[in-house]
Amino acid sequence: EVQLLESGGGFVQPGGSLRLSCAASEFTFSSYAMSWVRQAPGKGLEWVSSIRGSGGATYYADSVKGRFTISRDNSKNSLYLQMDILRAEDTAVYYCAKGVGSGIYSFDYWGQGTLVTVSS
């Protein structure tokens, strides 16, 4: 069974940084695009960023472009999200999600999420 396990969330002050990680198992990690999707408390889903299987192409929501960086290490079956210049509106549960294919498709597996709280 595919497993995605996020880590790295926590409490940070505005302007600070955090690095999220997602450990993947039970599928050929390098063959699939991976994404981060977030959900603010009591709100809907917001796509954050995606990266193709090879890691050669990355995509970002306008709300995080220039502040967040997605990356992956296919040798470690791991996905990352470096979050800099954090704002209060970045407070959310961050989900790691597996794409259906190597391109930008729908998401067939999701992790349980990691909570990021940005507050002074």
Partner 1 sequence: DIVMTQSPDSLAVSLGERATISCKSSQSVLFTSNNKNYLAWYQQKPGQPPKLLIYWASTRESGVPDRFSGSGSGTDFTLTISSLQAEDVAVYYCQQHYSSQITFGQGTRLEIK
User: Is residue 27 involved in binding partner 1 (CB under 8 A)?
Assistant: no
What are 102's two structure tokens? 């190597």
Which tokens sit at 51?
Answer: 């990266």
**From the CB of 26, what's the least distance to partner 1, in Å?**
15
In this structure, how many other beta carbons lie within 10 angstroms of the beta carbon of residue 53?
19
Picking from 105, 94, 104, 87, the residue whose alpha carbon sits closest to that of residue 12 is 87
Rounded-to-integer distance, Cα 6 and Cα 20, Å:
7
**Cβ-based nearer residue to partner 1, 29 or 98:** 98
Query: By CB under 8 A, is residue 113 in contact with partner 1?
Result: yes
Long-range contacts at 66-69 (CB < 8 A, ≥ 24 apart): none
Is 107 near partner 1 (CB under 8 A)? Answer: yes
Out of 46, 71, 77, 84, name the contact with partner 1 by CB under 8 A.
46
Point out which span in 8-16, 21-29, 69-77, 103-111 binds partner 1 (CB under 8 A). 103-111
Contact residues for partner 1 (CB under 8 A)? 35, 37, 44-47, 50, 59, 61-62, 95, 100, 104-108, 110-113
